[in-house]
């Protein structure tokens, strides 16, 4: 599926149909700044114009690395740049959340680190039940009027909260959420049940992350329940409480991955291509986000994305996905704004 440019929801802005994620920039398991710059340059040279980060990624280092590259290379205006607020960025009681107090400060800090005069797409990283959605929207609306933000987005919201936000924007005449972002892949299909159709019906862009299930769909972890050294399932996952292993290391997932990778091998198709294409072809999806912490990761994705798998191959992939969802569905949204859910056993699945 070659690089194409699609509308960001109902807006007139065009983004590439694949987005570069940067949560690995600046941590000990990710990449250093020179490598990050090389990845960014390779992505932009390959036609990607959509870059995603957050103020909470590695204490702001991801934003800083991106800002330095775009400023020094003179390529800022070639990119639709997305970042986020809401997650904790310090120890203070107001160093997290979606209040006006936090948003205004968070945006100023992001602008400084990104070395830019505007944020093209500003997501609320997860729903803040303590803050009225009108307060959040009015704060972002003010920032849009000031020229510091172009569009507002939401991430990991329940569908009813996004609906409430759209209604609030309508009746209060506020700029609305133009995009929704959350986890979505063959092994985490919950977003597609209600949120994607709802978003499509309201012309909200859908920007899924983790289309490769953090690498699980490459088949590299086998079925032994042992993480490959150096992968996201290894020490990084242990440092975060083992959420990836809890989410993906189970019999239903191992079986689905085995069937999925067998299809890739049978047809001589890269597993990366099939996983990305399944997400991208899901009706209503705008642009899936993939991460890269090595230059070979971004070159591998661009190579896989340069062609599409035939319809008959994708029909086999969809059959595996549908079988898996029927046996072990994932609830949406992910708990606490994080993509860490536990699949129910097949005996309790409905």
Which run of H or E residues covers position 124? strand 119-124
Query: Concatenated DSSP letters for 36-57?
Result: HHHHHHHHHHTT--EEE--TTG
Closest CA to 161 of 182, 185, 145: 182
Query: Concatenated DSSP letters for 166-233?
Result: HHHHHHHT---EEEEEEE-BTTB-GGGTTHHHHHHHTT-EEEEE-TTGGGGGGTTTTTTT-PPTTSTT
What structural domains does the chain harbor?
Answer: 5-214+271-309 (3.20.20.100)
Cβ neighbour number for residue 191 with a 10 Å cutoff: 29
The answer to whether 12 and 5 have CB atoms below 8 angstroms apart is no
Query: Concatenated DSSP letters for 300-319?
Result: HHHHHHTS---HHHHHHHHH
User: Considering 5, 25, 57, 248, which one is annotated as catalytic?
Assistant: 57
Give the integer Cα–Cα distance in Å for 307 and 329.
30
The answer to whether 185 and 217 have CB atoms below 8 angstroms apart is yes
Q: What's the predicted TM-score (pTM) here?
A: 0.93
pLDDT by residue, tens only, the chain of 350 residues: 789 999 999 999 999 999 999 999 999 889 999 999 999 999 999 999 999 999 999 999 999 999 999 999 999 999 999 999 999 999 999 999 999 999 999 999 999 999 999 999 999 999 999 999 999 999 999 999 999 999 999 999 999 999 999 999 999 999 999 999 999 999 999 999 999 999 999 999 999 999 999 989 998 887 777 778 878 887 777 888 888 888 888 899 999 999 999 999 999 999 999 999 999 999 999 999 999 999 999 999 999 999 999 999 999 999 999 999 998 767 777 653 333 333 333 333 32
* Residue 1 CB-half CA count within 13 A: 23
Residue 57 is among the residues annotated as catalytic for this protein = yes
């Amino acid at each position: 599926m070659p690089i194409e440019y699609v509308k960001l929801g109902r807006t007139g802005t065009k983004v590439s149909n694949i987005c570069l994620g940067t949560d690995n920039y600046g941590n000990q398991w990710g990449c250093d700044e020179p490598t990050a710059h090389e990845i960014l340059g390779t992505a932009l040279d390959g036609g990607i114009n959509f870059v995603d980060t957050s103020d909470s990624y590695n204490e702001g280092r991801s934003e800083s690395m991106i800002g330095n590259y775009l400023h020094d290379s003179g390529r800022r205006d070639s990119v639709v740049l997305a970042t986020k607020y809401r997650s904790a960025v310090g120890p203070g009681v107001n160093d997290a959340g979606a209040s006006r107090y936090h948003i205004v400060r968070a945006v100023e800090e992001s602008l400084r680190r990104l070395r830019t005069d505007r944020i093209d797409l500003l997501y609320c990283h997860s729903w803040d039940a303590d803050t009225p959605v009108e307060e959040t929207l009015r704060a972002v609306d003010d920032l849009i009027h000031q020229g510091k933000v172009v569009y507002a987005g939401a991430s990991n919201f329940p569908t009813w909260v996004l609906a409430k936000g759209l209604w609030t924007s309508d009746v209060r005449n506020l700029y609305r959420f133009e995009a929704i972002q959350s986890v979505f892949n063959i092994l985490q299909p919950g977003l597609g049940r209600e949120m994607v159709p709802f978003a499509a019906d309201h012309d909200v862009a859908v920007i899924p992350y983790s289309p490769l299930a953090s690498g699980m769909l490459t088949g590299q972890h086998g079925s032994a329940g042992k993480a490959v050294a150096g992968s996201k399932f290894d020490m990084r996952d242990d440092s975060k409480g083992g959420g990836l292993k809890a989410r993906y290391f189970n019999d239903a997932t191992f079986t689905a991955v085995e069937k999925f990778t067998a299809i890739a091998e049978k047809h001589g198709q890269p597993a990366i291509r099939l996983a990305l294409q399944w997400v991208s072809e899901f009706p209503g999806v705008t642009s899936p986000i993939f991460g890269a912490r090595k230059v070979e990761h971004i070159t591998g994705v661009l190579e896989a994305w340069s062609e599409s798998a035939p319809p008959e191959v994708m029909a086999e992939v969809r059959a595996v996905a549908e079988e898996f969802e029927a046996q072990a569905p994932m609830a949406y949204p992910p708990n606490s704004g994080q993509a860490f859910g536990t699949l129910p056993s097949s005996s309790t699945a409905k």
